Amino acid sequence: MANPAKLTVTDLTLDAATAQPAVDTIDTNGTVPIDADDIDGAAAGRLVIEVVEPNTRALTVKVLAGDNPPAVCSGVGDLEVAVAQNSGKIIGPLESARFMQNDGTIQLTFTGTGGAAAAQVRTYLLPKA
């Protein structure tokens, strides 16, 4: 199998309920983008990523530092998040000034501990309040 070409972003609506979306399945070590078609630079600050490890092996998720420009704070570096076996993490909201690539994507790298990464990922865009 292979990782998705990009992560699917679900827009949440203010004062409403949204059905839980299907997961994007990660089953290989590698990098997967969140595409500019799904968010704009200003919206990155409302982007939240849910990562669940389905009892296979621990993994590390990195949100890669962006390109300068547009990411003027890219010098802060990557955001590295450890996800233990059979657990989950919520990542974000993310700062576009740190993570936006010059092609308009935000890049996430998934690396399994001692083997291929295994994760279920949902990506949400919080509404403007």
CA–CA distance, 66 with 104 (Å, rounded to integer): 9
The whole-number pLDDT of residue 70 equals: 87
The whole-number pLDDT of residue 38 equals: 65
Residues of the chain falling short of pLDDT 50: none
Long-range contacts of 80-83 (CB under 8 A, 24+ apart): 81/51, 82/58, 83/51, 83/52, 83/53, 83/58, 83/59, 83/119
Distances (CA, A) of 113 to 53, 54, 61, 78: 12, 14, 11, 18
Instruction: Please check whether the domain covering 9-13+21-125 is classified as CATH 2.60.290.
Output: yes
CA–CA distance, 73 with 15 (Å, rounded to integer): 33
Question: Where exactly are the structural domains of the chain?
Answer: 9-13+21-125
Q: Give pTM, 2 decimals.
A: 0.92
Place of tokens 């990557």: 78
Residue 15, judged by CB atoms within 10 A of its CB (0-12, 13-18, 19+), counts as exposed
The whole-number pLDDT of residue 36 equals: 65
